[in-house]
Amino acid sequence: MIVLGIDAGNLFSKAVLLDEDCLLSSSISETTGNVCSCVDSIVSEVLEKSGVTREDVKLFAVTGGGSELIEGLYLREDDVLCIAAAGAYYLPDVEMVVDIGGQSITSILIDEDGDVVDFMRNDKCASGSGRFLEILSGAAGIPIKDLSNAVELAENPVKIRSQCGVFAESEVISYLNEGKKPADILWGLCDAVAGIVAAQARRFPGVKKYTITGGVARIDALTSRIENKLEKEYLKFPHDPMLGAALGAALIARLES
Partner 1 sequence: MEAGIVLEKGGLFDRVSRLFAVIDSLPDELSDEEVKGLTFVLPPDARSSIEAMLIPRLREGSLAFMRMLSSWLKKAQETAESGGKTILVPFCFPPELVHAFDGAFPVTSEVLSTLGVVALEGRGERYYDMALGLGLPDYICSANAVEVGSMLGSDDFKPQGIISAAAGSCNINAKTHEILAFYHRIPMFVLEKPVDNSERGKEQYRKNYSRLVGELEEFIGEELTEEKLRRTCEKVNRANELLAELWDLHKAIPDPVPNLFSLFTYGVRFSMWGTDEAIECMNVLVDVSKRRLKEGAYPAREELARCLLTYTSYYFDLAGMFNWTEERGYTYLGDGLDLIFPVMIDTSSRDSMLDGMAEQSWNMPMTRQVGGESMSMCWLEDILWAAKELKADCAIYSGHHSCKQTWSVVSILRKELMKRAEIPLLVLQGDSWLSRTTPITAVQKEILDFIGNVVAQKKKGKRKIRKRLSSTAEFNA
Partner 2 sequence: MLFGGIDIGSLTAQAVIIEEPDGKSARLKIHTKSIRVKPDPVESAKEVMGALLKDIGINWEYMKYVVSTGYGRERVQQEGLSHDNISEISCHGAGAFALYPNVRTVIDIGGQDAKVIRVGPGGELENFVMNDKCAAGTGRFLEVMSKTIGTDYEKLGFLALKSRNRFELSSRCSIFAENEVLHYLQRGASVEDLAAGISRSMADRVMALARRVGVEREVMMTGGVAKNVAVKAELEKKLGLRIVSPSLDPQLIGAYGAAVLARRSWRES
Partner 3 sequence: MSVIQRLKEYSKVIFNESVKEWKDSGGNVVGYSCVTTPPEILLAADILPYRIRALGNPNTEMADACLARFNCSFARSCLQLGLDGTYDFLDGIVETNGCDHLRGMFENWQYNRPLKFFHYLKVPHQTNDDALKYYIGELLLYKQAVEAHFEVEITEDRLERAFEMEEKVSAVLRETYEIRRDENPRISGEEALCFYLLSTAMHPQKFLLFAGEALEEVKSRAPLEYRARIMLCGAATDEIDLLSEIEGLGGLIVSDALCFGSRAFFTTPVRVDDRIEILARRVLDGILCPRMYEEFPKRLNFILDEVESAKVDGVILVCNKFCDLHGVDNVQIRLSLEERGIPALQLEKDYGSGADVGRIRTRVQAFLERIESRIR
The residues binding partner 3 (CB under 8 A) are 124-125, 159, 161-163, 167, 170-171, 173-174, 177, 195-196, 198-200, 202-203, 229
Q: In what order do the strands lie in the sheet with 2-8?
A: 22-30, 12-19, 2-8, 57-63, 75-76
149 near partner 2, rule: CB under 8 A = no
The site partner of 24 among partner 1, partner 2, partner 3, none (C-beta below 5 to 8 Å per kind) is none
User: Cα torsion at 141, 147, 152, 158 (round to 10°)?
Assistant: 60
The site partner of 141 among partner 2, partner 1, partner 3, none (C-beta below 5 to 8 Å per kind) is partner 2
Per DSSP, 114 falls in state S
Q: Give the range of 17-25, 48-56, 125-133, 189-197 binding partner 2 by CB under 8 A.
A: 125-133
CB of residue 127 to partner 1, shortest distance in Å: 12
- Residue 233's Cβ-count burial label (10 Å; 0-12, 13-18, 19+) is middle
CB of residue 231 to partner 3, shortest distance in Å: 10
Q: In what order do the strands lie in the sheet with 233-234?
A: 116-121, 105-110, 96-100, 209-213, 233-234
Q: Which of 194, 188, 195, 196 is nearest to 140 (CA)?
A: 188
The site partner of 80 among partner 1, partner 2, partner 3, none (C-beta below 5 to 8 Å per kind) is partner 1
> In degrees rounded to 5, what are phi and psi of residue 103?
-135, 20
174 Cβ contact partners less than 8 Å away, ≥ 6 residues apart: none
164 near partner 1, rule: CB under 8 A = no
Give dist(CA 222, CA 199) in Å, integer: 14
Q: Give the range of 12-20, 121-129, 209-217, 224-232 binding partner 2 by CB under 8 A.
A: 121-129
CB of residue 119 to partner 2, shortest distance in Å: 19
> In degrees rounded to 5, what are phi and psi of residue 145?
-70, -25
Site string for partner 2, 53-92 (x = CB under 8 A): ------------xx--x-----------------------
> Closest CB to partner 2 among 52 and 125?
125
> Closest CB to partner 2 among 101 and 248?
101
Per DSSP, 213 falls in state E
Q: How many CB atoms are closer than 10 A to CB 32?
A: 11
Question: Residue numbers of the site for partner 1 (CB under 8 A)?
Answer: 1, 20-21, 78-81, 84-85, 88-89, 92, 112-125, 203, 205, 251-252, 254-255
Question: Residue numbers of the site for partner 2 (CB under 8 A)?
Answer: 10-11, 31, 33-35, 65-66, 69, 102-103, 124-126, 129, 131-132, 135, 141, 164-167, 169-170, 173-174, 176-179, 182
